[in-house]
Structure 1
Amino acid sequence: MASLNVGNLGEYLREQRRSAQLSLRQLADAAGVSNPYLSQIERGLRKPSAEVLQQVAKALRISAETLYVRAGILDEKERDELETRAVILADPSINERQKQVLLQIYESFRKENGFETSTYADAASYADEDTDTVEGPRTTDGGDAGSKEEGPPSS
């Protein structure tokens, strides 16, 4: 079988697996994919889906976006934007309203600086998949806990 053009994804996965001190079988089990399939990915014989890459990334505890770039699913600029959005959305110290405001400010700065904003919807869906906590705590009346507006702490 001829090698597919998936960049250095397979080599990178092998390096990450070895640095995590995992056997091929251990990683396959942790990622929920078959051992032969993972071996074929590492050897460049198969091009995995974004879903498989996400599972492998979680098992290796690395960024799924990095694997997406190496597999040719995302370009480098999109990855940087997605990672920024994912970090904001995953931050447990701010509530959902605050996260949305931060994303709007980020988007306005990007737009002001001439960057396209087309990946916003994709970023939200990737970030939602990668985060366990999407919504902040709710009060009994259905509002966000701690969502009252406060000014900066006085010095």
Structure 2
Amino acid sequence: MASLNVGNLGEYLREQRRNAQLSLRQLADAAGVSNPYLSQIERGLRKPSAEVLQQVAKALRISAETLYVQAGILDERDRDEVETRAAVLADPTINERQKQVLLQIYESFRKENGFESGPTDKPREDTTDDGPRTADGSAATTEPSP
């Protein structure tokens, strides 16, 4: 049987479960999965579906995206974005509405700075032609000739 390479996910889940001070059985019950199945995930023997990861993330009150990256479902292309979102979502000192507002502001700043959320998460290329540019990229001004 080929290695599933999900050991890092299992270790990460175990660490998150312990940080949440939950037993394996408590987390399995909260996530709606069987205790043996969750144990196999933690030991790196099973690769869970995105749906199971989402249920576990909800039970742990962490970002599902973080688990998707750990499981290899999402590329590490925007690990910083995922970690930022996870930190906001995991903060127990702010309520859900405040978390969503913070994430909306974060996303608007990313868009303003030329980053779109998506599969490549690269800066947008400016496709508008605003005329000539100077060496530093700013718009060149043209004066009408006399």
Q: Name the CA shift for 1:102/1:79 in 2 (closer, same or farther; >3 Å).
A: closer
Q: Which has the higher contact order (CA 8 A, sep 6+)?
A: 1
Q: Summarize the alignment of residues 36-115 of structure 1 with structure 2, pairs less than 5 Å apart.
A: 36-81=36-81, 92=97, 99=104, 103-104=107-108, 106-109=110-113, 111=114, 115=115
Identity %: 77
TM-aligned CA distance change 1:17 to 1:92, over 3 Å: closer
Pairwise CA distance, 1:3 = 4.1
Q: How high is the TM-score relative to the length of structure 1?
A: 0.55
Match of 2:28? 28
> Distance in 1 between the 2:110 and 2:15 partners?
34
Return 5+ residue gaps in structure 2 as ranges.
89-94, 120-146
The verdict on how the C-alpha distance between 1:28 and 1:68 changes in structure 2, with shifts beyond 3 A counting, is same
Larger radius of gyration: 2
After the TM superposition, which segments of 4 or more aligned residues of structure 1 sit over 6 Å from their partners? none
- State the superposition RMSD in angstroms: 3.3
Task: Report if the CA contact (8 A) 2:25-2:35 is conserved.
Answer: yes
Task: Show CA shifts across 1:70-90 (max 9, x none).
Answer: 111123333433566786xx9
Aligned residues: 111
Task: Note the C-alpha offset of 1:104.
Answer: 5.0
2:97 alignment partner, SS class: coil
Quote the Cα distance in structure 1 between the aligned partners of 2:85 and 2:74: 15
User: What's the secondary structure of 1:8's corresponding residue?
Assistant: helix
**Unaligned 5+ residue runs, structure 1?**
121-155
Structure 2 length normalisation: TM-score?
0.58
